[in-house]
């Protein structure tokens, strides 16, 4: 049978289940990524499983989110813990200062045809070199490090057929913004986006990685490009051509859906506040005054991206506009070194751009919060309300080309009005220096794992009782993000301290939520469509669990968050009849009984005691998920099995 790329990789890695659409399969994971904001929990969970050495081909622990170490010992303690626990258990450790996990993984480790699981939603970046790379909660990654399979629903595969070639000043970011415009932030749920067509050849690996990275904003399981001559060239330039293999769809391979994009007709695009799918052509809002421009994040921080900004500045002979504050955060140390050697960095600094550390930085609200009511243009992937740290500001997502045009003029500007597009060559050899990636210890028994006071023990969930009762503690609308549930920014340093971090739950929506939840002994959360979209942070399940949340009833869920709720023993449930959402009010007293038997069927009966009505809820769990929920979460379930091979 002719196979597409997704089928080829999945079939080569399937260890359980049938490869039929919609059914659950278990796949072997070749490589894992963790980052510091999710990694401390993932490693505490890995330790709790009692596995000595990781069983993957490669596991890397990156420090890139909380590198600032401001206001106390917390970040630095976490780094120490991560470094020692990695050394002890066979994991490579990428030190703070080495760069953003996705950029580095693409540069140094990603391999065509392999599987990668990462405790960060933008793990699909490595799909740019033909990997099947997926984001997941830290606990799923911990299980994969222990050699356990990763379970996923066999996806629909969408072919994104690219024809023609991008015009000057139009770049990869515009392709993914166009897809978001067409499909919305929930248009990709349950799907893998596979890129094909003759237009693929004109895109370099950094271009492809921008697209696969931001496929996460479609809610997609992942996105993948073929591995071709461009991939070989990139891996050759990274000094690892031996990692290259050709990977393409067979002639006549079938797809569940085909989407066509004519590259030559695309124009510069921009996502307006406060959702990545609120996309328009730049020309539609040209002239809007801009207060801040930020270039960077795992979407657009490669050498290619920064050079296009530097070269555009140089060619224009202009500086950053007096009314604009502009920052640049490079993706990796390799990018910084290459930019320094090529002179591009000097051009950026001469233009008045402010150079930040090569980390996530402003993307996750770690610095550069814009002024009140500001317009901030960012080459990032998320513009959720408040994510920048300033609730009244609006973040707009755009390409580096659109960002530099606005930095020069001080208003949203179509970069095509600037004249000739930046010309520069991508290197045939990148600067390779892995000295900030520390290998695991040769004598693991001698390593003592360092645990500072910020590292609090994992909260434990009990087995599921037969009935759950409690109040609706909050009623929410559509597209609630994990940033709404457990915000980042100044809260980030408490990622290893669940009791403290739990104080942040829904704080921007209801500042008293955590006290209310604890006083009520827990209860239920009511959500609309696509509940839990955005990041993979399992804290968005773990902290509500700590506050006693028993179930989240919503119209639909984002993939990773739904798995995270199950993993922590909170019931994600949907309405049999979505109109029932309107009949439940904030504060209503709810009861779900007969759970142990009920979970073996499709439907559960919810009693709304306050309104005196009943309704059917659907759980949609696989038998494995039912067992996890009954055990009180995946950690208990895995321990009960006595293996990480769950
Ligand atoms: C994000 O971009 O929201 C993050 C911070 O990288 C998260 C992970 C986290 O919350 O630690 C993600 O995308 O998964
Ligand atoms: Fe870091 Fe932002 Fe990428 Fe998340 S989206 S990994 S915060 S750069």
**Is-catalytic flag, 13?**
no
Rounded Cα–Cα distance for residues 551 and 599 (Å): 14
Helix, strand, or coil (residue 259)? strand
Taking the domains of the chain in order of start, what are their residue ranges?
5-265, 269-416, 468-641
- Residue whose structure tokens are 């902290």: 543
> Are the CB atoms for 57 and 51 separated by under 8 Å?
no
**Is-catalytic flag, 535?**
yes
User: Does the domain formed by 468-641 have CATH 3.30.230.10?
Assistant: no
- What is the CATH T-level fold of the domain 269-416, as seen in this structure? Aconitase; domain 3 (3.30.499)
Helix, strand, or coil (residue 461)? coil
Rounded Cα–Cα distance for residues 28 and 10 (Å): 9
Strand blocks (E) in 521-581: 523-526, 549-554, 571-575
In CATH, what class is 5-265?
alpha beta
Per annotation, catalytic residue among 65, 539, 559, 619:
65
Tell me: the pLDDT tens digits for 300-338?
Answer: 999 999 999 999 999 999 999 999 999 999 999 999 999
- Residue whose structure tokens are 């439940």: 584
Give the mean pLDDT of 367-378.
97
Phi and psi at 204, nearest 5°, equal -80, 170
- Residue whose structure tokens are 């920014």: 489
**Is-catalytic flag, 181?**
no
Structure tokens at 541: 């399940």
- Residue whose structure tokens are 């070269």: 311
Q: Which of 33, 34, 63, 100 to mutate to test the pocket of ligand 2 (most atoms within 8 A of CB)?
A: 100
Per annotation, catalytic residue among 382, 514, 559, 619:
382
Average pLDDT, the chain: 97
Percentage of the chain with pLDDT > 90?
A: 96
- The closest of 161, 158, 228, 160 to 197, measured between CA atoms, is 161
- In short, whether 482's Cβ falls inside 6 Å of ligand 2 is no
Distances (CA, A) of 133 to 112, 136, 183, 229, 562: 10, 10, 21, 20, 19
Rounded Cα–Cα distance for residues 164 and 167 (Å): 9
Number of other CB atoms surrounding residue 619 within 10 Å: 20
Rounded Cα–Cα distance for residues 422 and 264 (Å): 18
Rounded Cα–Cα distance for residues 68 and 357 (Å): 9
Rounded Cα–Cα distance for residues 491 and 500 (Å): 9
Q: Which of 39, 119, 122 to mutate to test the pocket of ligand 1 (most atoms within 8 A of CB)?
A: 122
Phi and psi at 621, nearest 5°, equal -80, 150
Give the mean pLDDT of 414-427.
95
Smallest CA separation from ligand 1 atom 10, residue: 537
Name residue 469's beta-bridge partners: 591
pTM: 0.97
Q: How confident is the model at residue 448 (pLDDT cuts 50, 70, 90)?
A: very high
pLDDT of residue 40: 96
Name residue 328's beta-bridge partners: 295, 355
- In short, whether 562's Cβ falls inside 6 Å of ligand 1 is no
Structure tokens at 346: 């000097």
Structure tokens at 589: 């007293």
Concatenating the DSSP letter of every residue in 590-623 gives EEE--HHHHTTSSEEEEEETTTTEEEEEE----H
pLDDT of residue 646: 42
Smallest CA separation from ligand 1 atom 6, residue: 120
Rounded Cα–Cα distance for residues 160 and 169 (Å): 22
pLDDT at 372 over 80: yes
pLDDT at 110 over 70: yes
Structure tokens at 309: 């900004």
Q: Which atom of ligand 1 is nearest to the CA of 537?
A: 10
> Are the CB atoms for 232 and 244 separated by under 8 Å?
yes
Question: Residue 439 carries which DSSP code?
Answer: P
Q: How confident is the model at residue 640 (pLDDT cuts 50, 70, 90)?
A: confident
Structure tokens at 399: 């390409």
Rounded Cα–Cα distance for residues 224 and 134 (Å): 10
- In short, whether 120's Cβ falls inside 6 Å of ligand 1 is yes
Rounded Cα–Cα distance for residues 430 and 324 (Å): 32
Q: Counting ligands in written order, which one lies closest to the CA of residue 532?
A: 1
Rounded Cα–Cα distance for residues 199 and 177 (Å): 17
pLDDT of residue 643: 57
Tell me: the pLDDT tens digits for 196-252?
Answer: 999 999 999 999 999 999 999 999 999 999 999 999 999 999 999 999 999 999 999
- The closest of 303, 267, 315 to 166, measured between CA atoms, is 267
Q: How confident is the model at residue 458 (pLDDT cuts 50, 70, 90)?
A: confident
* Sign of the four-CA dihedral 413, 415, 420, 423: positive
Same CATH topology for 269-416 and 468-641: the answer is: no
Tell me: the pLDDT tens digits for 160-203?
Answer: 999 999 999 999 999 999 999 999 999 999 999 999 999 999 99
Rounded Cα–Cα distance for residues 492 and 457 (Å): 17
Go through 288-298 and write b for each residue having 16 or more CB atoms within 10 A of its CB, e for each that does not. bebbbbbbbbb
Q: Which atom of ligand 1 is nearest to the CA of 560?
A: 14
Per annotation, catalytic residue among 120, 156, 174, 243:
120
Go through 198-212 and write b for each residue having 16 or more CB atoms within 10 A of its CB, e for each that does not. ebbeebbbbbbbbbb
Q: Counting ligands in written order, which one lies closest to the CA of residue 496?
A: 1
pLDDT of residue 457: 87
pLDDT of residue 69: 80
Q: Which of 39, 298, 305, 380 to mutate to test the pocket of ligand 2 (most atoms within 8 A of CB)?
A: 298
- Residue whose structure tokens are 């499709």: 602
Tell me: the pLDDT tens digits for 470-521?
Answer: 999 999 999 999 999 999 988 999 999 999 999 999 999 999 999 999 999 9
Q: How confident is the model at residue 82 (pLDDT cuts 50, 70, 90)?
A: very high
pLDDT at 141 over 70: yes
């Amino acid at each position: 049978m002719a196979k597409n790329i997704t089928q080829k990789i999945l079939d080569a890695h399937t260890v359980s289940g049938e490869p039929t659409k919609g059914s659950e399969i278990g796949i072997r994971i070749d490589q894992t990524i963790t980052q510091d904001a999710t990694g401390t929990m993932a490693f505490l969970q890995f330790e709790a499983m009692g596995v000595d050495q990781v069983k993957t081909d490669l596991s890397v622990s990156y420090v890139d989110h909380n590198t600032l170490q401001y206001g106390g010992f917390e970040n630095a303690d976490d780094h120490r813990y991560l470094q020692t626990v990695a050394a002890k258990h066979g994991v490579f450790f990428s030190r703070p200062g080495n760069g953003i996990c996705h950029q580095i993984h693409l540069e140094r480790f990603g391999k065509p045809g392999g599987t990668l699981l990462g405790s960060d939603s933008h793990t699909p970046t490595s799909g740019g070199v033909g990997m099947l790379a997926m984001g997941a909660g830290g606990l799923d990654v911990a299980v994969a490090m222990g050699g356990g399979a990763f379970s996923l629903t066999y996806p629909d595969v969408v072919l994104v057929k690219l024809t023609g070639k991008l015009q000057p000043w139009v770049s990869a970011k515009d392709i993914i913004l166009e897809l978001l415009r067409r499909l919305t932030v929930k248009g990709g749920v349950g799907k893998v986006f596979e890129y094909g067509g003759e237009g693929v050849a004109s895109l370099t690996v950094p271009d492809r990685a921008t697209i696969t990275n931001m496929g996460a904003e479609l809610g997609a399981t992942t996105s993948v490009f073929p591995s071709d001559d461009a991939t070989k060239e990139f891996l050759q330039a990274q000094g690892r051509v031996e990692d290259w293999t050709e990977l393409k769809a067979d002639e006549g391979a079938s797809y569940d859906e085909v989407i066509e994009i004519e590259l030559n007709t695309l124009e510069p695009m921009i996502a307006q506040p406060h959702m990545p799918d609120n996309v328009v052509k730049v020309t539609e809002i040209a002239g809007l005054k801009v207060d801040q421009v930020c270039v960077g994040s795992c979407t657009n921080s490669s050498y290619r991206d920064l050079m296009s900004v530097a070269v555009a500045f140089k060619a224009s002979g202009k500086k950053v506009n007096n009314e604009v504050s502009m920052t640049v955060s490079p993706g990796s140390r390799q990018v910084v070194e290459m930019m320094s050697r090529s002179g591009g960095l000097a051009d950026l600094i001469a233009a008045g751009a402010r150079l930040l550390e090569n980390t996530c930085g402003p993307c996750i609200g770690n610095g550069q919060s814009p002024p009140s009511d500001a317009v901030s243009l960012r080459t990032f992937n998320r513009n959720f309300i408040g994510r920048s740290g300033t609730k009244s500001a609006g973040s707009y997502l755009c390409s580096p080309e659109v960002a530099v045009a606005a930095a020069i003029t001080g208003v949203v500007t179509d970069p095509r009005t600037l004249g000739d597009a930046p010309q520069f060559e991508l290197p045939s050899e990148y600067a390779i220096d892995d000295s900030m990636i520390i290998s695991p210890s040769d004598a693991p028994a001698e390593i003592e794992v360092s645990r500072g006071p910020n590292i609090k023990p994992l909260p434990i969930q009990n087995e599921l009782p037969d009935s759950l009762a409690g109040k609706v503690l909050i009623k929410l609308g559509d597209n609630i993000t994990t940033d709404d549930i457990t915000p980042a920014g100044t809260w980030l340093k408490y990622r290893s301290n669940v009791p403290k971090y739990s104080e942040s739950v829904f704080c921007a929506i209801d500042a008293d939520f955590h006290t209310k939840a604890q006083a009520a002994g827990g209860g239920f959360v009511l959500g609309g469509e696509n509940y839990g979209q955005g990041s993979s942070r399992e804290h968005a399940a773990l902290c509500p669990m700590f506050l006693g949340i028993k179930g989240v009833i919503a119209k639909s869920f984002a993939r990773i968050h739904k798995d995270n709720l199950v993993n922590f023993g909170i019931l994600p449930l949907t309405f049999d009849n979505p109109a029932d959402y309107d009949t439940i009010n904030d504060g209503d007293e709810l009861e779900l009984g007969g759970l142990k038997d009920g979970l073996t069927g499709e439907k559960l009966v919810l009693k709304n005691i306050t309104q005196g009505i009943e309704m059917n809820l659907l759980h949609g769990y696989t038998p494995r998920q039912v067992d996890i929920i009954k055990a009180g979460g995946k950690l208990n379930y895995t321990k009960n099995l006595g293996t990480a091979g769950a």
